[in-house]
Amino acid sequence: MDEVDALRKAYDVLRGLDARPVAEMIAQRLRRRGVRKLPRGPRRSTRDNPVGLTAPVVLHRGRSCRYDGPLPVAGTLDCAAQALRCLPPMAALVIVDSALAARRVTVAELYARLGTKGSAAARILLTLADANSESPLETIARVLLRVHGLDVRTQVYLDGVGRVDLLVEGVLVVELDGFEHHSDRAHYRNDRRRANALTCMGLRLVRFTYEDVVHRPTWVVACVFEALGAVPISVASRALMGQMSTAEVIRSSHTYRARVNRQDGA
pLDDT for the residue numbered 257: 52
d(CA 83, CA 76): 10
Q: Are 141 and 216 in contact (CB under 8 A)?
A: no
> How many degrees, rounded to 5, is the angle at CA 178 between CA 55 and CA 101?
75
The predicted pLDDT at position 108 comes to: 93
- Give CA separation, 110 vs 67, 74, 88, 96, 239, in Å: 15, 14, 17, 9, 37
- Which of residues 131 and 244 earns the better pLDDT score? 131
Contacts of 257 (CB under 8 A, 6+ apart): 230
The average pLDDT across 127-148 equals: 89
Task: Tell whether the model's pLDDT for residue 27 goes beyond 70.
Answer: yes
In this predicted structure, what is the pLDDT of residue 23? 77
pLDDT for position 57: 58
Tell whether the model's pLDDT for residue 254 goes beyond 50: yes
At residue 142 the predicted structure's pLDDT band, cuts being 50, 70 and 90, is very high
Q: What is the pLDDT of residues 101-137, one digit of tens each?
A: 999 999 999 999 888 777 888 888 898 899 999 888 8
pLDDT digits (tens, 9 = 90+) for 34-82: 887 777 655 554 455 443 434 455 666 655 566 666 666 678 888 899 8
Q: How confident is the model at residue 262 (pLDDT cuts 50, 70, 90)?
A: low
**Rounded to 5 degrees, what angle do the CA atoms 201, 202, 206 make?**
105
- pLDDT value at position 255? 54
How does pLDDT run across 161-219, given as a tens digit for each residue? 888 989 998 889 999 987 555 567 777 788 888 888 888 888 888 999 888 888 888 88
Judged against a pLDDT cut of 50, whether residue 99 lies above it is answered with yes
Q: What is the pLDDT of residue 49?
A: 43
Task: Compute CA distances 232 → 155, 208, 241, 253, whole Å.
Answer: 28, 19, 15, 8
If DSSP codes are grouped into helix, strand and coil, which group holds residue 171? coil
Model pTM? 0.63
Range 20-59 burial, b when 16+ CB lie within 10 A, else e:
bebbbebbeebeeeeeeeeeeeeeeeeeeeeeeeeeeeee
> In the prediction, which pLDDT does 55 show?
46
165 with 183: CB under 8 angstroms? no
Write down the pLDDT at residue 98: 92
- C-alpha neighbours within 13 Å on the C-beta side of residue 266: 6
pLDDT single digits (tens) 220-237: 888 888 888 754 445 545
